[in-house]
A and B are shown apart, each in its own frame.
Chain A
Amino acid sequence: MADMATPPGSAPDTGGRRDFLTLATTAFTAVGVGAVVWPFISSMNPARDTLALASTEVDLAPVQLGQAVTVMWRGKPVFIRHRTPENVASARATPLTELKDPATDQSRVQKDEWLVLIGVCTHLGCVPLGQKPTDPHGDYDGWFCPCHGSHYDAAGRIRKGPAPLNLAVPGYTFTSDTKIRIG
């Protein structure tokens, strides 16, 4: 701050002080604008009541071996499949090198027979088909998304098509042997 040392009334302003004031004012204005804009931006994020609806309990007892159910969690479908030993075996036989988003079957389940997935295609958010026996299951015995043609395998892993990632596994806990809480 050379010009701060200039004795008052001696030399005309060098411009350094003027620049500093301009810069400080601009910076202060930017912070102020940010502080005003933030509440508006933030108001568009999920509200507290929306966040409060964030967990769902599911009773798995009525779901027979080989059956699948769809439950709603946070406005999205969650796929729960009671897998047969063959399903599990085929999913585990797949070498990781064949996968676009490599993940072992073990890493995607808590109990081998129960596969819990968010039923939303990781491409553009459609609900893949494959929950009903009459649905197409894709080329890998899992799910098939009709919107843009993504194929998922029996562990919900992406195998073919435009989707970049495996079907997401939601956070869930077994509250008893046959009950889970999602979220």
Chain B
Amino acid sequence: MSIGLHKSEFKNPVIRWVDSRLPLFTMMQKEYGTFPTPRNFNYFWNFGALAMVSLMIMILTGVFLSMNYTAHTGYAFDSVERIMRDVNYGWLLRYVHANGASMFFIVVYIHIWRGMYYGSYKAPRELLWMLGVVIFLLMMATAFMGYVLPWGQMSFWGATVITNLFSAFPVVGSHIVTWLWGGFSVDNPTLNRFFSLHYLLPFVIAGVVFLHIAALHITGSNNPLGIDPKGPQDTIPFHPYYTSKDSVGLVVYFIVFAILVFFMPNYLGHPDNYIPANPMVTPTHIVPEWYFLPYYAILRAVPDKLGGVLLMFGSIALLFVLPWLDGSPVRSMRFRPLARIAFALFTLNFFVLLYVGGKPAEEPYVTISRFATAYYFAYFLVILPLLARLERPLPLPESIARAVLGRGGGPIPMAAAAKPMEKA
């Protein structure tokens, strides 16, 4: 490509002037306008867009909350109460931010579930999937540090327990913990750095999201059939088809969000976090936020400290290598009768872990959590690798168009698929 202005095809002179010098409009038109997208998406394909919206809501409300928040152990709790009582619409900003975190995790968990069921992690989308796991890890770090900021009892003791996870590592463990704390316990230096990082990481997430989407636009989207589009008859342009389908999902998302914020804003929180942090008294029952409960259950299922910590980190690390654990070339579990059952059990098992993670460390929950942990790991390390060899998948459809259009009353003319292609 030679040096010079980009040949813009936009008619509006102002847009054309900008686009010739910096082809942002051309790029947006290519990636979000005419971008060829499989024609058979179901509503599970809404959740990427919903996650993006969640991230934007979190950054927006977070920036404004920080204008009234004080990151000091002596003032943090009171500054949050001031936001709730005195700052105009402070209650709204805080409840949207707090419940927004839950919405973000709900959306991302469904997004991950979608990827696991329809095999979106398989070639050629391995890196796309791994970038997603990075985003998930960054989200967990950000959410954890955000929960510390109000400096309530759960903030303090959650921070203490989680940072102490690193003390499980031999030799360097205690030095790492002191370094994380900036002292000899969770205290003011800890709160300050958590605030700093809690503000930083969402922008790091935004950066990785950009890479996630860039990688997606190289491979193109997976679809419920898990087969590649073979030509224009299998795809439709992203706009207006999926912009409008995403909008439908977005409305439902906002309804759920609004119900949480306006009618049950503290339902997913813990009342102990409205007690100011007290380093001398541990609440009798420490629980993390609900979205960490499955991993917390895995941590507690192991009677050995280092073992529990390694298994907990391992449970997420497995996601990174999932593309290589599941060697079956068939992506969608619609065509994998056995994997489908195993994955349904995995899903159920995840909820069991979530449930026992929120219960005290006593029987029968300890035993249940051990079985559930065993199945979690067995699914990745035994069942998927074995099924890749043993399972006989159902025959795959010839093409997306054939599968989608053949189901109803006879084939629809090809013109229907070709017509909406827009002029770039």
Contact = CB atoms under 8 A, between A and B. Distances in A.
B182 A123 contact: no
Nearest to A71: B280
A126 B300 contact: no
B362 A77 contact: no
Interface string B180-217: 11111111010001000000000000000000000000
A41 B193 CA distance: 12
Interface stretch (A18-26, A27-35, A42-50): A42-50
A147 B161 contact: yes
A77 B193 CA distance: 23
Interface string B318-362: 000000000000000000000000000000000000000000011
A181 interface: no
B184 A126 contact: no
A72 B279 contact: yes
A74 B185 CA distance: 7
B182 A45 contact: yes
Interface in A59-94: 70, 72, 74-77
Interface in B274-317: 279-282, 284-286, 300, 302-306, 308
Interface in A122-138: 123-129
Contacts of B161: 124-126, 147
Contact of B182 (A46, A70, A125, A129): A46
- By CB atoms of chain A within 10 A, which of B160, B187, B193 has the most? B160
Interface size classification for chain A: 20 to 34
Interface in B158-189: 160-161, 163-165, 167-168, 178-187, 189
Contact of B304 (A54, A75, A147, A164): A164
A171 interface: no
Contacts of A128: 282
B189 A125 contact: no
Nearest to B184: A74
B157 interface: yes
Given A45-B179, A45-B182, A126-B282, A148 B157 contact: no
Given A75-B187, A124-B161, A163-B305, A149 B286 contact: no
A45 B167 CA distance: 15
A45 B280 CA distance: 23
Contacts of A125: 160-161, 163-164, 167
A16 interface: no
B14 to A, nearest CB: 45
B313 to A, nearest CB: 14
Nearest to A76: B185
Given A124-B160, A127-B280, A75 B361 contact: no
Contact of A44 (B182, B300, B302, B305): B182
Given A75-B185, A149-B361, A162-B302, 8 more contacts: A44-B179, A44-B193, A75-B186, A126-B161, A126-B282, A148-B361, A161-B303, A164-B305
Closest 7 CB pairs of A and B: A75-B185, A74-B184, A125-B164, A124-B164, A126-B282, A124-B161, A127-B282
Interface of A: 41, 44-47, 50, 54, 70, 72, 74-77, 123-129, 145-149, 161-164
26 contacts: A41-B179, A44-B182, A45-B179, A46-B178, A46-B181, A46-B182, A46-B183, A50-B182, A50-B189, A75-B279, A76-B185, A76-B279, A77-B279, A124-B160, A124-B305, A126-B161, A127-B282, A129-B282, A129-B284, A145-B282, A146-B285, A146-B286, A147-B161, A147-B286, A148-B361, A162-B304
